[in-house]
Amino acid sequence: MTSRIKPDLCLISFALVGSTLVILILLALLNITATQLSDIPFLLQVAQDSRVTDSILLTFTAGLNAVIILVLLGTPLAYVLARTHSRFNNIIESIIDIPLVLPHTVAGIMIYLLFMQRGLIGAPLKDVGFIFEDAYPGIVAAMLFVALPFYVDTAREGFEKVPLHLENVARTLGATRFRAFSLVVFPLSIRHILNGCILAWGRAISEFAAVIMIAYYPMVISTLIYYRFTTGGIKESTAIAFLMILASFSVFVLLRLVTRYVGRYDDRV
Amino acid sequence: MIEFDNVSLRLSAFALHEVSLTIMAGDYYFIMGPSGAGKTILLEALAGLHIPDEGRILLKGEDITGIPPEMRKIGLVYQDYSLFPHMTVEKNIGFGLRMQGLHHPERKKRVDTLMKKLGVGHLAQRAPLTLSGGEMQRVAIARALAIEPEILLLDEPLSALDPIMRDFFVDELRELHREQGLTIVQVTHERHEALNLGTRMALIRDGRLEQEGAIDDVFVRPRTRTAAEFMGFENIIPGIVSDAGGPDCRFDTGTVSFSCSTKAIKGENGAVCIRADDISVREKTDPGTDRDNTYRGKIVAVNPSGPMVRIDVDIGLNIVMVMSRKTFESRHLKKGSEIVLTVSPDDIYIISTGTPDTTCS
The chain B residue lying nearest A85, using CA atoms, is B12
- Mean pLDDT, rounded, for A88-111: 94
Q: Which of B12, B99, B129 sits opposite A174 (nearest CB)?
A: B99
Half-sphere exposure of B361 (CA within 13 A, CB side): 0
Q: Give the residues across from B318 on adjacent strands.
A: B314
Closest residue in chain B to residue A188, using alpha carbons only: B86
Q: Which of B277, B276, B242 is nearest to B260 (CA)?
A: B242
Q: Minimal Cα–Cα distance from B258 to chain A, Å?
A: 50
Asked whether residue A161 carries a pLDDT value surpassing 80, the answer given is: yes
CA pair distance A254, A60, nearest whole angstrom: 14
Query: Are B320 and B311 in contact, with CB atoms under 8 Å apart?
Result: yes
Query: Same topology for domains B2-226 and B234-352, yes or no?
Result: no
Size of interface A-B (CB pairs under 8 A): 76
Statement: residue B361 has pLDDT above 50: no
pLDDT digits (tens, 9 = 90+) for B22-64: 999 999 999 998 888 889 999 999 999 999 999 999 999 999 9
User: CA B16 → CA A194, B9, B20, B208, B313, distances in Å?
Assistant: 40, 5, 11, 6, 40
Which element (helix H / strand E) includes B269?
A: strand B269-274
Residue A3: its pLDDT value, please? 65
Rounded-to-integer distance, Cα B354 and Cα B361, Å: 17
**pLDDT for A68-86, tens place per residue?**
999 999 999 999 999 998 8
Alpha-helical regions (H) of chain A = 9-37, 40-47, 50-83, 89-96, 98-101, 104-115, 122-127, 136-161, 164-172, 177-180, 186-188, 190-205, 209-214, 221-231, 234-260
Contacts 24+ apart (CB under 8 A), B225-232: B225/B271, B225/B351, B225/B353, B227/B203, B227/B351, B228/B271, B228/B273, B228/B349, B228/B351, B230/B32, B230/B33, B230/B34, B230/B191, B230/B203, B230/B205, B231/B191, B232/B191, B232/B275
Which residues in B lie closer than 8 A to residue A166 (C-beta atoms)? 82, 84
B80/A263 touch (CB, cutoff 8 Å), yes or no: no
- Which of B47, B78, B100 faces A174 most closely, judged by CB atoms? B100
A266/B82 touch (CB, cutoff 8 Å), yes or no: no
The predicted pLDDT at position A257 comes to 85
CA angle centred on A111, ends A107 and A116, rounded to 5°? 150
Measured distance CA(A250)–CA(B50) in Å, rounded: 48
Q: How does pLDDT run across A170-220, given as a tens digit for each residue?
A: 999 999 999 999 999 999 999 999 999 999 999 999 999 999 999 999 999
* A244/chain B closest Cα distance in angstroms: 37
Provide the pLDDT for residue A2: 58
Chain A interface mutation, best of B50, B70, B156, highest count of A Cβ atoms under 10 Å: B70
Please check whether the domain covering A60-216 is classified as CATH 3.90.76.10. Answer: no
Q: Which of A57-61, A146-150, B228-232 has the lowest mean pLDDT?
A: B228-232
Q: Which of A85, A86, A167, A173 to mutate to test the interface with B (most CBs of B within 10 A)?
A: A173
Residues A116-131 have pLDDT tens digits of 999 999 999 999 999 9
Gap from A268 CA to chain B (nearest CA, Å): 7
Asked if pLDDT for residue B213 goes beyond 60, the answer is yes
Which CATH topology does B2-226 take?
A: Rossmann fold (3.40.50)
- Give the closest residue to A263 by CA, choosing from A186, A167, A182, A209: A186
B102 touches chain A (CB under 8 A): no
CB contact B82 to A (< 8 Å): yes
Contact with chain A for residue B67, Cβ under 8 A: no
Name the residue in chain A with its Cα closest to that of B73.
Answer: A172
Say if residue B358's pLDDT is above 60: no
Q: What percent of chain A has pLDDT over 90?
A: 88
Report which secondary-structure segment, H or E, holds B326: helix B325-330
Q: Per-residue pLDDT for A269 more than 50? A: no
Q: How confident is the model at residue A267 (pLDDT cuts 50, 70, 90)?
A: very low
In whole angstroms, what separates CA A125 from the centre of its chain?
26
> What is the spatial distance between Cα B25 and Cα A65, in angstroms, rounded to a whole number?
57
Contacts 24+ apart (CB under 8 A), B109-115: B110/B146, B111/B146, B114/B142, B114/B145, B114/B146, B115/B89, B115/B90, B115/B142
What confidence category does residue B135 fall into, taking pLDDT thresholds of 50, 70 and 90? very high
Supply angle C-alpha B249, B253, B255, rounded to 5.
120
d(CA A223, CA A219): 5
Model pLDDT, residue B248: 83
B170 touches chain A (CB under 8 A): no
CATH of domain B234-352: 2.40.50.100
Say if CB B217 and CB B190 are below 8 A apart: no
Domain ranges of chain B: 2-226, 234-352
Q: Which residue from B157, B125, B155, B152 is spatially nearest to B138, judged by alpha carbons?
A: B157
pLDDT confidence of residue B357: 43
Strand order, beta sheet including B269-274? B257-260, B248-252, B235-245, B269-274, B349-352
pLDDT 10s digits, B269-291:
889 999 999 998 887 656 556 56
CA distance B146 to B160: 23
State the pLDDT at residue A266: 57
Q: Which amino acid, residue B220?
A: V
* Residue A65 in this model has a pLDDT that exceeds 60: yes
Among A18-32, B171-185, B218-232, B245-259, the range with the most confident prediction by mean pLDDT is A18-32
- pLDDT for the residue A72: 98
Q: What is the pLDDT of residue B285?
A: 59
